Amino acid sequence: MTLFSLLLIAHFVADFYLQKHSWIMCKVKNKQRSIGLLKHMIVHVILTSVAILLSGITLDYTSLIALTVIIATHYLIDIWKTYQSFTLKNFLIDQVGHLLIIAIIASWLGGISLQHAADTIIAFFNTKTLMLIGLYLFLCKPVSLLITLSLSTYTKQFDESEKANEGLASAGEFIGYFERGLIVTFILLEQFAGVGFLLAAKSVFRFGDMRRQSDRKLTEYIMLGTLFSFSFGIGVGKLADYLLRSV
């Protein structure tokens, strides 16, 4: 675990703190012939080597193979990334690829067998963990759809000019995901003041919307949506707390 943590720190420092913007632009422009990419890989070689040494593993034949695999795969993934557009999806693919390699190498050097890794994963995904995953998933899209259907009668009462000022596409939906997730988390942690703070903070922002619009219909619509969202969040949070205590 120490080796994995050190390799993780080395990766994040090299990728996000010691990689200059000019190197990134050079990579995008020149691809595999980039001097910026070469400098970036040198930084990774140095920090990864230091991480291995600090974990107590000597730089012998086995660790040199591990170092080579980490650097070579990082190089290939970075080359792939230069041919892709800079989107959240590609960024996540890039980082998950790096982290998977680091996890595999750390397990190999640390002498962790596949059976031990599989047992650890199985132990992590116990009944409580799976229940929490299911509850959080339910609070996102399904509850968002329930709220949308519940408010559909009121949504139809807005004309096109009012709908034109709705805001960012899907932003309200994602805000709902986060607020319901936070509500359940606060309840499970028994931090009920956090729920009150979240409601107060949202009310401040919503009050600004209501003042600017000066529209009773919009005000009531926003209040209904917020109350629906918080009611689902609190209800599922209490249900989750009860179920987890019962397991």
Would you state the structure tokens that stand for residue 162, as one six-digit string?
Answer: 């009012």
Could you count the other beta carbons within 10 Å of the beta carbon of residue 171?
10
Note the pLDDT of residue 30: 92
Query: Looking at residues 169-192, what average pLDDT do you find?
Result: 77
More confident site: 15 or 162:
15
Please tell me the least confidently modeled range out of 71-80, 208-217, 218-227. 208-217
Q: Are 180 and 136 in contact (CB under 8 A)?
A: no
More confident site: 211 or 46:
46
Q: Are 54 and 68 in contact (CB under 8 A)?
A: no
More confident site: 73 or 206:
73
Query: Looking at residues 195-221, what average pLDDT do you find?
Result: 64
118-143 confidence digits (pLDDT tens) = 777 777 778 888 888 888 888 878 88
Note the pLDDT of residue 177: 79
Determine the Cα–Cα distance for residues 60 and 51; give it in Å rounded to an integer.
Answer: 14
Q: Are 37 and 27 in contact (CB under 8 A)?
A: yes
H or E element in which residue 171 lies:
helix 171-188
Note the pLDDT of residue 145: 81
User: Has this prediction a pTM greater than 0.85?
Assistant: no
Query: Looking at residues 167-195, what average pLDDT do you find?
Result: 76
pLDDT at 5 exceeding the cut of 80: yes
Q: Residues of the chain with pLDDT > 70: what percent?
A: 82
More confident site: 32 or 40:
40
How far is residue 75 from each of residues 61, 82, 152, measured CA to CA in Å?
21, 11, 51
pLDDT at 222 exceeding the cut of 80: no
Note the pLDDT of residue 161: 53
Query: Looking at residues 105-130, what average pLDDT do you find?
Result: 77
More confident site: 20 or 209:
20
Q: Are 10 and 51 in contact (CB under 8 A)?
A: yes
Mean of pLDDT over the chain: 82
51-99 confidence digits (pLDDT tens) = 999 988 887 889 999 999 999 999 999 999 999 988 989 999 999 999 9
Note the pLDDT of residue 210: 53
Please choose, from the candidates 227, 230, 10, the residue with its C-alpha nearest in 3D space to the C-alpha of residue 101.
10
More confident site: 26 or 217:
26
pLDDT at 101 exceeding the cut of 90: yes
Note the pLDDT of residue 168: 46
